[in-house]
Structure 1
Amino acid sequence: MTNQSAYTVLFSAGESSGDQHAANMFLELKKRCPAMRGIGMGCSKMRQAGIDVRYDSAGIGVIGLVEILKHYGEIRRALNLLKQIIRDEKPDLLVCVDYKEFNLRLARFAKSQGVKVLFYVSPQVWAWRPGRVKTYGKAIDMMAVIFPFETRYYEAENVPVRYVGHPSVDKVHPQRSRSEDFELFGLDPNRPVVGILPGSRGNEIKRILPVMLAAAAILAAQRPELQFVLPQADSISDAALAAHFGNTSLAVKVIKQQPYDVIQCCDAVMTTSGTASLEIALLGVPMVIVYRLAAFSYWLGKRLVKIPFIGLPNIIAGKAIVKELIQEQLTPESLAAEILQLLGDGEYRQRCISALQAVKHQLGEGGGSKNMAQLALEMLGGA
């Protein structure tokens, strides 16, 4: 590849998972082209990968209409800054990572400025608003999808698309053995471990963590031998967690920057929906998926979404292999009851583990970050 030093890639990642995907992709790009320059919006993982982060997206990773309206001013400022970067610095390629509506607007602007657009992680057109395929097709040069069944939606509308594999398949690997982690984290290998994953967004912590902690208190009262761990997301501050732990005497080990090692120590996990649920599935740990939105956001979502599940393991499997507790179904009692069944009912537990193994098999061998880097280089080479 010639003229490598001339290439600048602008990344736009508005959420924790997108921050990780962009970082992994850029690291693969740098292996092939050491002089490649990355700039954009993201968080700590992108910074660690060597991307010049111009806007920290930690405060704008929200879901739901009500939540987005509350953060509208900040989201608007981020969009305007990235537009200014496109105008002033003319990057060779814009890589939009997830964060759908924001990145659609940014992609349209980039296209109007003559900048090529690669969109990474398709909007869930198979779940709701399939007409968005045409909308995105007009704003991008290539759609990179992470589930094999997604390609047909774009091919049907003649939108350039490529299946690159799910990035989680590559990155979800513990650094150590389970026994080593038990020793490192100060856990007793003879006592069951329950994982608490309240999400990577501030509004998730506020809505969901109190319910999880209340459920954990019920579990601790019924089974005092249980141990509780919480892998803290990079996007969640110590203060955000401390505000909730001040209301409980429950012993929970909070562990930073080692989510997969923490999860592999768990016998059961309570988790928010989203990428985390898929990562837990790849590690083969039984779980219960929970979520809670503002009432109006949930009401609106129920009328738009056309699939019966919100958890990725269930969506991929096409059936309920993992219990979902959403909105009013999510109570400390219902959450504790499901964890107790996963821990105490051997047949129920094994069915869940076998189903999760099947989901992992469906996702294939991975290579998503490498495939994305190759795709980006092809688009840059054709500039």
Structure 2
Amino acid sequence: LRPEARFCGIGGKNLERAGVHILFHSSEMAVVGLTEAVVRIRTIFRAARRVKTILREKRPDLLILLDYPEFNLYLAKFARRLNIPVLYYISPQVWAWRKGRVKKIARRITRMAVILPFEKDFYRKRGIQVDYVGHPLMDRCRETVFIERNSQVMLTDDADGPVIGLLPGSRKEEIRNLLPEMIKAVKILKRDYPRILCLLPLADTISREFIHPFIDNAPVNIQIREGEIHETLGRCDLAMVTSGTATLDTAIMAVPMVVVYRVSRLSYLAGKALIRVPFISLVNLVAGKKVVCELIQDNLTAETLAYEAGILLRNKTLRERMRGDLMEVRRLLGRGGASEKTARIAVDMMEKGA
């Protein structure tokens, strides 16, 4: 759309490959909950100072923000003082907790590009210019992979054992909290399914070296997969998934799942007091009902996870019902093109100067 455009910012390998000059790597700033945020506070402040310097000295035509609300809303305030237009792509989850932040968004953000279907009405009712662009995951998911997954026979109906996807998160703290429980749960399932196989799609924020200590001596067969997550999920009969975007990846492929999450005790108590939605997983929130089981905090043990996964493996009717609900979630996420739609909004804002 604008071949001459130049970009700098905070991001990971994908942004760097796309031609963005990376000021700070996103993995340095990734946090899970309040306790983890305190540990990385110096890095976060250092990144904020660097970005503010760029905004002040370079005066870019547009500031594009993505998620990460506290940090980004702070930068948005600074940008608006400099009369730099601000596009917020992928909304903070203000509809879930601390709704008062929407007032900051109204003051500091020029335009919103949202990816969940219910977010458009939420912002429009509050007088904020907003576009629903669909979910970017739909751009990444190849239709041929999805069709192939739908045509498969459940491997649990064959002589081979079931294939279980392990999605322990994209942050190191999540993996430390959740992957050991997943592995112990699979060990329990192995009593009934001796040939069980686990596939672990590697997030681009995590190295193989970090994962290996968790799985090298595991009592089950776990294979690390790099590359396209949907291709890996297309081979899975069931997935154990950390709450977050990965639940939508799994829903897009219509793979039955159990959702898990655990943070520090302090983070959990703070979140429990503030969160005002009935579910934690995006799958259930988009569906507007309970589609998948959520095992959160103290409810998450190897035994409960193995129990819920075992129910799905044994009950074909339940699996098919869940798959039908997940296909409806996929439909609600749009037809794709989110990235291009957002890029066109950005170009429009730059051309208009607002």
- Confirm or deny a common fold (TM above 0.5): yes
Which residue pairs with 2:185 in the alignment? 215
8 Å CA contact 1:178, 1:261 repeated in 2: no
Quick one: distance in 1 between partners of 2:229 and 2:244? 15
Rounded Cα–Cα distance in structure 1 between residues aligned with 2:219 and 2:283: 33
Say which of 320, 337, 341 aligns to 2:307: 337
Is 1:70–2:19 an aligned residue pair? no
161-170 or 325-334, larger mean C-alpha shift: 161-170
- Secondary structure of 1:148's partner? coil
Deviation at 1:193, TM superposition (A): 0.6
2:202 corresponds to which letter in structure 1?
Answer: Q
Cα distance 1:259–1:189, how it changes in 2: closer, same or farther (>3 A)?
farther
What residue number does 1:22 align with?
none
Deviation at 1:247, TM superposition (A): 4.4
Q: Does 1:114 align with 2:83?
A: yes
TM alignment of 1:1-383, pairs within 5 A:
32-173=1-142, 190-383=160-353
The C-alpha deviation readout for 1:125-148, integer Å capped at 9, x for no partner, is 222222221111111111111123
Residues 71 and 189 (structure 1 numbering): CA distance in 2 closer, same or farther, change over 3 Å? Answer: farther
Tell me if structure 1 keeps the 8 A contact 2:161–2:194.
no
Runs of 4+ in 1 over 4 A off after TM superposition: 174-179
Normalised TM-score (structure 2): 0.93
Can you list the C-alpha shifts for 1:100-124, whole angstroms capped at 9, x where unaligned?
Answer: 1111111111111221110011122
Equivalent AA in structure 1 for residue 229 of structure 2 = P
**Contact 1:79–1:106, Cα closer than 8 Å, also in 2:** yes
Does the CA-based 8 Å contact 1:178-1:265 persist in structure 2? no
**Counterpart residue identity of residue 104, structure 1:** L
Q: How many residues align?
A: 345
Q: Percent identity?
A: 41
CA contact (8 A) 1:175 1:261 kept: no
What's the CA shift for 1:196? 0.4
Q: Output the CA distance in 2 between the equivalents of 1:246 and 1:264.
A: 24
Structure 1: how far apart are the matches of 2:94 and 2:55? 28
Deviation at 1:334, TM superposition (A): 0.9
Amino acid of the structure 1 residue aligned with 2:190: A
For 2:194 and 2:212, locate their aligned partners in 1 and report how far apart those are by CA, in whole Å: 23
Supply the AA of the counterpart residue of 1:119: Y
Unaligned ranges ≥5, structure 1: 1-31, 183-187
One-letter amino acid of the structure 2 residue matched with residue 262 of structure 1 = T
- In structure 2, runs of 5+ residues without a counterpart are 153-157
Asked whether the equivalents of residues 259 and 292 of structure 2 are also in contact (C-alpha less than 8 Å), the reply is: yes
CA distance, structure 2, for counterparts of residue 233 and residue 178 of structure 1: 23
Q: 1:149-199 deviations in whole A, cap 9, x for unaligned? A: 2122222232221111111122122776859xx9xxxxx994421000000
Contact residue 86 and residue 111 of structure 2 kept, 8 A: yes
Secondary structure of the residue aligned to 2:113 is strand
Shift in alpha-carbon separation, 1:189–1:146, aligned structure 2, 3 A: farther
Residue identity matched to 2:64: V
